[in-house]
Amino acid sequence: MVPKLTLALRLARRFPDNASLLAELREDKTIRRTIDAYDYLSGVAREGGSVTVADVAAAVKLPLSGTAQAANAKAVATILAALTTYDFEEATPILTTLVLRKAGKRPPPAFFALVDDMGLLAPYDDEESFVKDETARVHKNWVAA
């Protein structure tokens, strides 16, 4: 699923003025939510902020409560993995660094597992140093945009 979402996001970002392509991509709920999550997080980055997983879930209309909580949490995790993979493949700062488990906390363990698999943690002594540096890179990149 992540490669499909990454490809869809790449198309949406490369052809933002192609209304028919965007309409077709957005017909798929998961793709639409992935594009919406990217747009939401880029707005957060422009403001120099951070958000929680629950904030992202709410922004893409996948509440983390009620009977669909487990399914929605899995969908949000897939979306965040796709966004992380997209930024890694595009060699841009990782927007999902701004997504914290809870306010004032750190990103979820799945985030660290993924960026470690990508080799991004290797130059760092600890995860907190990576988050600090990558958060600064994200904010610098998006505030300037």
34: phi then psi, degrees, rounded to nearest 5: -65, -45
Under DSSP, the state recorded for 98 is G
CA distance 128 to 65: 29
Q: Structure tokens of 30? A: 């998961």
pLDDT of residue 118: 97
* Residue range 13-23, pLDDT digits in tens: 999 999 999 99
Find all residues with CB under 8 Å of 99, minimum gap 6, and list them: 41, 50, 51, 52, 53, 56, 80, 107, 108, 111
* Residue range 39-98, pLDDT digits in tens: 999 999 999 999 999 999 999 999 888 888 999 999 999 999 999 999 999 999 999 999
* Residue range 114-132, pLDDT digits in tens: 999 999 999 999 999 999 9
